[in-house]
Amino acid sequence: MSKKEQIAIIIGAGPAGLTAAYELVTRTKIKPIIFEAADAIGGIARTYNFQGNRMDLGGHRFFSKSKRVTDFWFKFLPPESESTQINSASTNTDKLMLLRNRVSRILFLRKLFPYPLQFNLATLRKLGAIRILKIAASYLYVCIFPRRPEKSLEDFFINRFGRELYTIFFKDYTEKVWGVPCSFLTAEWGAQRIKGLSITKTLLHGLKKLFAKSAKSAKSAKSNGTTETSLIEKFWYPKFGPGQLWDEIAAAIIAQGGEIHFDHKVVAVHTKDQQLTAVDVLIDGEVVTMTGDYFFSTMPIKELIIGMEETVPHAVLEAATELKYRDFITVGVLLKDLKIKDNHVGLIRDNWIYVQDADVKLGRIQIFNNWSPYLVKDKNQIWLGLEYFCNANDEISRMDNSELAEFAISELVKINFIERDTVITSTVFRTEKAYPAYFGGYKKFHEIRQYLDQFANLFLIGRNGMHRYNNMDHSMLTAMTAVDNILANVKLKNNIWNVNTESEYLEA
Ligand SMILES: Cc1cc2nc3c(=O)[nH]c(=O)nc-3n(C[C@H](O)[C@H](O)[C@H](O)COP(=O)(O)OP(=O)(O)OC[C@H]3O[C@@H](n4cnc5c(N)ncnc54)[C@H](O)[C@@H]3O)c2cc1C
């Protein structure tokens, strides 16, 4: 008698869910069926196409210290060769990873400062003598009297940069991203987010750059084990944006027998004897129950727990209900020109710009032309992504799309970035729960994890699936490790939770 085919239900078609499905179709006999709540592939790392202009929600650099991950990317989109110039005739294929230079600066006092900060003459001139003296004095002060114990992110920043520099370059931006004061965030989180950076390292990095004229090879970008991760200067990027890679992978999954269903939102989970048995899926207003043998979840843990059919212990439910997230909005603006220029000509070089000034709510500006010129339909136009961080129901998220676009454009004008009459058109894209927060219910996260880990056939993977402020490579490695565990019959989930924590590098 032939054995019944085993089914893996995968919740979410972002990087984690797609990687899990691909690993299953290629390495096992288990059939993956993905249920995706949205109408497109890629999750946060999708590419949104607006009238032929492609928008990357967040600006996704492809950089990983894991060879397993980079090999996976290059299987679908091979790297451009070191000698291939981006606009040359030798770029004869669309399936390509471009090697891009990272250029990002900080906009403060309506002036552009290098990121990471470099203490060169230009920076000193822009900051002015009084500020420089204050920076030096507050840095010296903290060298002699560091804040001990280092409890909050504010302590972390001040100990490394001094109060003045922290106030100028870190405080307002971090508070824009998280919506809470830096004194509210933990120091460990800072240590992970901007690993190892300090004034001394920033100065040394600047000096090193002066002497070693960069032109680093593609090889060093592939496995850069020593550079402080916040300083990475090159990254890979699919020619048509991150969604191009996920579309390729989705096509391979379907070609090999997997299934992907859009507009299928998982709303509840059925369990029996410490196993998941089925999920309830909302399809066109109807709830349909789907059974499976294995379950991979990339949906927010908060929603997973709330949707559990069995009685969840009170402490776990309470911690999950208290988990916090930050939403994210990208306003795409198509322009004829920018007012701000480098050396008064041409397009500025940056991939993105951090907006530090506190008199606008705008967090970052993406210049999509500089990620890949192929993201923009008309090469003579400028395609920007204006990023806002918000909470459900706050002032920003309550605005409707046209109000929001007008508000964003008025902020661009206010910071002297554009002239109003250069705007051609605009669009708005909202991403809920883009940032899982390490405050609120997170302090009791261990209880949630312990509870969910007992379900032997449930694999929590990816960003919201594990409530990790992660990058794509982390999502992918957690998916790969989960499939490794199924193949090796490993029951414990520790190796999934431990993925990449040492070598993680993070956006922003
Ligand atoms: C602003 C920003 C910038 C970033 N920059 C980078 C970068 O430069 N480099 C990098 O590597 N990473 C970057 N990241 C991180 C990257 O986006 C994530 O690591 C990655 O997208 C996580 O993939 P995932 O599959 O785990 O989750 P997601 O991308 O969140 O995908 C989860 C999917 O599950 C679906 N889903 C949710 N709930 C349900 C449900 N109930 N039923 C069915 N489907 C559901 C969602 O619609 C979504 O498609 C950035 C993130 C942000 C927010």
431 CA closest ligand 1 atom index:
53
User: Is residue 158 in contact with ligand 1, taking CB distance under 6 Å?
Assistant: no
Q: Name the burial class of residue 464, with classes exposed (0-12), middle (13-18) and buried (19+) by CB atoms within 10 angstroms of its CB.
A: buried
Residue pair 96/55 in contact (Cβ under 8 Å)? The answer is no
Order across the sheet with 458-460: list the strands: 259-261, 31-35, 7-11, 294-297, 458-460
Ligand 1 site, residue 464, Cβ cutoff 6 A: yes
Q: Which atom of ligand 1 is nearest to the CA of 17?
A: 25
Using DSSP's 3-state secondary structure scheme, residue 294 falls into strand
Question: Rounded CA gap, 61 and 242, in Å?
Answer: 8
Residue nearest to atom 38 of ligand 1 (CA): 299
Does the C-beta of 13 come closer than 6 Å to ligand 1? yes
* Cα three-residue angle 10-306-304, rounded to 5 degrees: 15
Q: Is 244 in the pocket of ligand 1 (CB under 6 A)?
A: no
Our answer on whether the CB atom of 241 is closer than 6 Å to any ligand 1 atom is no
| pTM for the whole structure | 0.91
Q: Do 296 and 24 touch, CB atoms closer than 8 A?
A: no
Please check whether residue 460 is in contact with residue 452, taking contact to mean a CB–CB distance below 8 angstroms. yes
How many angstroms is it from 60 CA to the middle of ligand 1?
11
- Distance between Cα 56 and ligand 1 center (Å): 12
In angstroms, the Cα distances linking 97 to 57, 91, 202, 255 are 18, 11, 30, 22
pLDDT in tens, the chain (508 residues): 457 899 999 999 999 999 999 999 999 999 999 999 999 999 999 999 999 999 999 999 999 989 999 999 999 999 997 545 544 444 558 999 999 999 999 998 899 988 877 777 888 888 888 998 999 999 999 999 998 888 899 999 999 889 998 998 888 888 898 899 999 888 877 666 665 556 666 666 655 555 554 444 444 444 444 444 444 689 999 999 999 999 999 999 999 999 999 999 999 999 999 999 999 999 999 999 999 999 999 999 999 999 997 789 999 999 999 999 999 999 999 999 999 988 767 899 999 999 988 899 999 999 999 999 999 999 999 999 999 999 988 999 999 999 999 999 999 999 999 999 999 999 999 999 999 998 888 999 999 999 999 999 999 999 999 999 999 999 999 999 999 999 999 999 999 999 975 544 444 4
Question: Does ligand 1 have an atom closer than 6 angstroms to the CB of 266?
Answer: yes
Among 44, 245, 264, 432, the mutation site with the greatest number of ligand 1 atoms within 8 A of its Cβ is 44
